């Protein structure tokens, strides 16, 4: 296999390729015109973030079979087009875990002890010990938002400083936190609790719609006075303008940041944030250690070797090894399963520890249903991960979050030709949603043990309440008074315990305050807005 390396990787990665009989040509900083010209004979590319692998490049790579990104982010690779071309894309998600975690701790220590400012002061010829009074980490509470690879490793290091941990991550089980920190660590159910109780807060989430500006003016106002904030994850998780205001007011007494919404930063207000005297800053170097670069180079090489030997790469982002016949059988169920996973996680109390997927009816005769289970996992993680979930990495992603996956099949007949049930278990409670296909259209046909029938689309208000006359009318009136139209409705009830469940398809979102008003008005035991 001929491999084109377009950016610097560890020599150990190149040596590994060559020892396994591959030709690895290193051509750095090529103009795009030259890149397109030399590319056709190569079957693989190893790149980092500086080489766009776009449609034009993928079309020019007439022999191309695999693209390896020696790092985590794949923003520079057009994965969708690569998939259409049958080109596998892999990355190295774990290579910089330790380096990023240690850099976080470095910024934290530097912030608490004023190390950069004191260093510059002494280098300038001054000697001012009183000016740089610091604070110990010992005995303080560290709030960690996001407890994946990096966040959990930060927690392990912080425990060595005798810090206590508060963790907010709606998508991990409590056991993962307890296994790392024991009685020194606690998983909180809401972000406000972490904000109120933490002396230092660090963020370790991907940048998604859910996490963008997760710490802004409102959240910062709920923190302790004099709190310290650290961001080594992604620019934009903390609202930088609100961060600057909080530093100016003294609400935040110190901060450390390695990542920015502008890289390099150019706007005036961004420069003000960077130059703030209480800010310790670095230019996105969290992964810049020789050890991390060796790991990503070697791992990228290992993924190419696996692929060339006919194995499935561990970190493939778009690879599905299925026969066309099997894909045809499962085609309609793929979006249904993603919807069921997404629906279930929105209904749940979060922090699930077990996912159970049951396949019933004719579909149970299909030997391999891992693609469908992977799409359930994809639906669960769609709002909280920047990883492309597929049949290769789905169970790895679930394991990283501490989510146990159980799959079962039964060909016992039901009301439906096929029925897929997804159950998320969190501690002693669970949320269940079941679906099927009507023609090619997904339908939700079960929630808990209620039979329902509605299309999973748009804004869906789910409520359960004591089954008595007039409740539906009362909910409809409250929605109407707020200019929210009911487009369709599905009702399920249990006569034995006189409980009912209703699902309203609505024309727009129902604010949380209004949901609380509806729940109070009808005595609802459960109410939730699901967006599909």
* Catalytic residue chosen out of the listed positions 48, 69, 149, 234: 234
- Beta strand 459-466 with 526-531 is antiparallel
Hey, what's the torsion of the CAs at 305, 311, 317, 318, to 10 degrees? Answer: 120
List residues bridging with 162 in a β-sheet.
Answer: none
Active site residue 328: no
User: Rounded to whole angstroms, how far apart are CA atoms 132 and 65?
Assistant: 56
CB 401 within 8 A of CB 148: yes
* Per-position DSSP letters for 401-448, written without gaps between them: TT-EEEEEEE----SSSEEEEEEEEETTEEEEEEEEEETTEEEEEEET
* Catalytic residue chosen out of the listed positions 284, 356, 499, 517: 284
Side by side, the strands of the sheet bearing 418-426 are 404-410, 354-361, 418-426, 429-438, 441-447, 450-454
* Catalytic residue chosen out of the listed positions 34, 136, 262, 263: 263
**Tokens 């159980």 found at:** 406
Tell me the HSE value of 494 on the side-chain side, using a 13 A CA sphere. Answer: 11
Tell me the HSE value of 110 on the side-chain side, using a 13 A CA sphere. Answer: 21
Running DSSP on this structure, what letter comes out for residue 182?
G
Please state the three-class secondary structure of 349-391 as a single string.
CCCCCEEEEEEEEHHHHCCCCHHHHHHHHHHHHCCCCCCCCCC
User: Rounded to whole angstroms, how far apart are CA atoms 34 and 463?
Assistant: 61
Question: What tokens does 108 get?
Answer: 């934290």
User: Rounded to whole angstroms, how far apart are CA atoms 66 and 393?
Assistant: 17
Active site residue 284: yes
User: Rounded to whole angstroms, how far apart are CA atoms 304 and 488?
Assistant: 51
Per-residue buried b or exposed e for 376-398, using 16+ beta carbons within 10 Å of the residue's own CB: bbbbbbbbbbbbbbbbbbbbebb
CB 91 within 8 A of CB 72: yes
Q: Which residues contact 439 (CB under 8 A, 6 or more apart)?
A: none
DSSP E strands: which ranges in 427-523?
A: 429-438, 441-447, 450-454, 459-466, 486-494, 499-506
Give how far the C-alpha of residue 1 lies from the chain's centroid of Cα atoms, to the nearest Å: 34
Active site residue 234: yes
Question: What tokens does 37 get?
Answer: 């010209």
Question: What tokens does 463 get?
Answer: 């409520």
List residues bridging with 252 in a β-sheet.
Answer: 227
Catalogue the active-site residues.
234, 263, 284
């Amino acid at each position: 296999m001929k491999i084109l390396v377009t950016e610097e990787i560890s020599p150990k990665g190149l040596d590994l390729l060559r020892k396994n009989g591959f030709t690895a040509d290193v051509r750095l900083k090529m103009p795009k015109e030259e890149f397109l010209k030399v590319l056709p004979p190569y079957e693989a590319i190893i790149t980092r973030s500086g080489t766009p692998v776009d449609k034009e490049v993928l079309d020019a790579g007439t022999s191309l079979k695999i693209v390896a990104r020696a790092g985590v982010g794949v923003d520079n690779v057009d994965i969708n087009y690569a998939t259409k071309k049958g080109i596998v894309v892999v990355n190295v998600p774990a290579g910089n875990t330790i380096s990023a975690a240690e850099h976080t701790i470095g910024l934290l220590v530097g912030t608490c002890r004023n190390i950069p400012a004191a260093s510059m002061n002494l280098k300038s010829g001054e000697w001012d010990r009183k000016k740089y009074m610091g604070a110990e980490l010992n005995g303080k509470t560290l709030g960690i938002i996001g407890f994946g690879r990096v966040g959990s490793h930060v927690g392990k290091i912080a425990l060595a400083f005798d810090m206590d941990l508060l963790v907010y991550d709606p998508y991990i089980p409590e056991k993962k936190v307890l296994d790392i920190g024991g009685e020194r660590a606690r998983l909180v159910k809401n972000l406000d609790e972490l904000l109120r109780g933490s002396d230092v807060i660090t963020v370790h989430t991907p940048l998604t719609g859910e996490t963008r500006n997760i710490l802004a003016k409102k959240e910062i106002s709920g923190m302790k006075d004099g709190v310290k904030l650290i961001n080594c994850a992604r620019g934009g998780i903390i609202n930088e303008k609100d961060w600057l205001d909080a530093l100016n007011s003294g609400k935040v007494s110190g901060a450390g940041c390695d990542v920015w919404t502008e890289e390099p930063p150019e706007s005036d207000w961004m420069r003000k944030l960077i130059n703030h005297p209480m800010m310790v800053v670095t230019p996105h170097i969290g992964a810049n250690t020789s050890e991390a670069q060796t790991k990503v180079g070697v791992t990228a090489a290992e993924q190419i070797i696996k692929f060339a030997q006919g194995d499935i790469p561990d970190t493939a982002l778009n690879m599905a090894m299925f026969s066309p016949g099997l894909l045809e059988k499962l085609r309609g169920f793929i979006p249904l399963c993603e919807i069921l996973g997404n629906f279930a996680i929105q209904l749940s109390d979060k922090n699930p520890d077990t996912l159970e997927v049951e396949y019933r009816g004719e579909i149970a005769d299909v030997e391999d249903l891992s693609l469908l289970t992977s799409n359930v996992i994809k639906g669960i993680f769609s709002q909280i991960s920047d990883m492309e979930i597929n049949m290769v990495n789905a169970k790895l992603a679930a394991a990283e979050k501490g989510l146990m996956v159980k799959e079962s099949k039964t060909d016992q007949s039901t009301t439906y030709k096929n029925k897929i049930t997804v159950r998320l278990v969190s501690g002693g409670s669970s949320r269940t949603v079941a679906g099927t296909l009507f023609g090619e259209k997904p339908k939700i046909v079960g929630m808990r043990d209620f039979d329902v029938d509605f299309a999973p689309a748009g804004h869906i208000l789910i409520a359960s309440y004591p089954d008595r006359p007039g409740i539906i009318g009362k909910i409809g009136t409250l929605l109407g008074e707020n200019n929210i139209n009911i487009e369709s409705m599905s009702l399920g009830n249990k006569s034995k315990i006189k409980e009912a469940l209703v699902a309203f398809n609505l024309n727009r979102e129902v604010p949380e305050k209004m949901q609380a008003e509806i729940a109070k008005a009808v005595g609802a035991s459960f109410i939730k807005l699901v967006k599909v």
